Amino acid sequence: MVATMPTMRAAVLVAPHRIEIEQRPIPAPGPGEVVIRVERCGICGTDLHIYNGHYSADRLPLVPGHEFAGRIASLGAGVAGLAEGQKVIADINIGCGHCFYCRRNEILSCAAVEQLGIHRDGAFADYVRVPARLVIPLPDDMPFEIAALTEPLSCVVRTARRSRLQLAESVLVLGAGPIGNLHVQLARLMGAGPVIAADLDRARAALAKECGADAVVSDPAALADTVRGLTGGRGADVVIESVGSARLYGEALSLVRPGGRIAAFGLTPADAVWSVPPLDIVLREIGVQGSVAGMGEDMHTALHLLALGRIRTAPFTRVTYPLTDLDAAIRAFAGDRTAFKVQIAA
C-alpha cells in the first residue's frame, strides 16, 4: 500500500484576475526553515497590484499573501529557540545574506531579495514555509487577527523612520485607506501634529478622524487651503503619499513646506511618471524619501505597538473570508468601500 502525502489548500494566482484553489503537498521544512500553519492573512494594496497583473507578473503562477500570522507546524534541522505550536509571524524579506547590502542590513536593496507572497509562494494557503531566522514569536494572548497587522504596520514604521518624522511636525497623509489610516495613527502616536488626512471617500476620511487625524479633507478644492491654514501658511513638514498616484505625488510637491520632506510610499503603475521640476526641489530644499516595506527592527516595533494596544485595530479586523473565497475577497477589497480591510481566516 502506497502512503499518501498530506496535502493542503493553496490559492494560486495563475494569471491576472484568475485564482485557482489547488491541493498541494504540505511543504516540508528544509534545514534552518519552519513551516507555519496560517491562521490569518490580510489582503493589501500590493496583493491587488499582483492580482491585476501590475506587479510580479513574471512570477506567476504564485501563491500571494504576506500579512500573516499562525502557528509553527514543523521545524527543520538545526532550528533552535522555536517550538511546534508556537504562535508566530515572520519578516517576509529574504536576502542573499552575503552581498554588500545584506551585510549592511539593507536587505531590500539586495539584488536577489525575495519577498514571501510577492516573489515566492506566500500565505494564502493552509501552510507556508519560511526561513527560521525571520520568524518572530508572538505573545501567547495576542489574537491572530491583530498579529496579522504587524507587517503593514511595519511598513508604516519604516516610512516614519526614513522620513525622520519628529515631535510636533505637521503631517499630511494623502489617502485614508488601511495603510493611510495606519500612517495617521502612527504619526499621532509619535507626537506629530497637526495630522491631516485627505481622501475622496468621506467615510474613510471620517474614520481617519476617529483614529487620530486632527483634520480631514474630502474636497480636493479645499485641500491646499486646509493644509496652509493649519500650518501657518507654510505647507506640511512631511507629506506621505500612500495611494500610488502620480497626480498625488505632484500634489505632494505643492503641499510640502520649503525644507520639508515627501515620503514616497504608494506604489504606482510601472509606467507612471512623476514630473518634478529640479529647480523647485533645489531652491526649496525639498527632501524625497522612498520607503517600500518594513523589515527587521520595523517588524519588532510594530508588533510591540500592537501588543500594547497603541493602535486602533477594530476597523481592520471586521471583514473576513475563507481561503476558498479569496477571489471574492480581493474583489471586495478593491470595489466595496465599506470593506475597509479584508482578512482571510483559516
Please name each of the domains of the chain with its CATH number.
Answer: 7-149+313-345 (3.90.180.10), 156-290 (3.40.50.720)
Three-class SS state of 321: strand
**pLDDT band for position 4 (cuts 50, 70, 90):** confident
Please give the sequence-ordered ranges of beta strands (E in DSSP) within the chain, or none if there are none.
Answer: 7-15, 18-25, 33-43, 67-75, 87-90, 93-94, 114-115, 127-131, 135-137, 171-174, 195-198, 215-217, 236-241, 256-264, 287-290, 319-322, 342-345
**pLDDT band for position 3 (cuts 50, 70, 90):** low
Distance in angstroms (rounded) separating the CA atoms of residues 75 and 69: 16
Region 44-68 average pLDDT: 94
Three-class SS state of 271: coil
Decide the pairing of beta strands 67-75 and 87-90: antiparallel
pLDDT tens string 286-342: 999 999 999 999 999 999 999 999 999 999 999 999 999 999 999 999 988 888 999
Question: What local confidence, expressed as pLDDT, does residue 337 receive?
Answer: 80
pLDDT tens string 105-157: 999 999 999 999 999 999 999 999 999 999 999 999 999 999 999 999 999 99
Kindly name the residue from 4, 7, 46, 324 that is annotated as catalytic.
46
Question: What local confidence, expressed as pLDDT, does residue 269 receive?
Answer: 85
pLDDT tens string 247-264: 999 999 999 999 999 999
User: Which residues, in sequence order, are CB contacts of 181 under 8 Å at separation 6+?
Assistant: 197, 204, 207, 208, 211, 315, 340
What global pTM score does this model have? 0.95
Helix, strand and coil in the chain, % to nearest 5: 35, 25, 40
Distance in angstroms (rounded) separating the CA atoms of residues 105 and 88: 22
Angle of helix 202-210 relative to helix 178-189, nearest 10 degrees?
Answer: 30
Instruction: State the average pLDDT for the chain.
Output: 96
Q: Which three cell numbers stand for residue 203?
A: 467615510
46 is annotated as an active-site residue: yes
- Asked if residue 94 has pLDDT above 60, the reply is yes
Region 164-170 average pLDDT: 98
Kindly name the residue from 4, 7, 49, 300 that is annotated as catalytic.
49
Region 56-78 average pLDDT: 97
- Quickly tell me which residue has 494623502 as its cell: 174
Nearest to 35 by CA among 109, 135, 145: 135
- Asked if residue 83 has pLDDT above 60, the reply is yes
CB distance 5 to 310 below 8 Å: no
pLDDT tens string 211-252: 999 999 999 999 999 999 999 999 999 999 999 999 999 999
Nearest to 251 by CA among 241, 242, 261, 260: 241
Three-class SS state of 323: helix
Phi then psi dihedrals of residue 208, to 5 deg: -60, -35
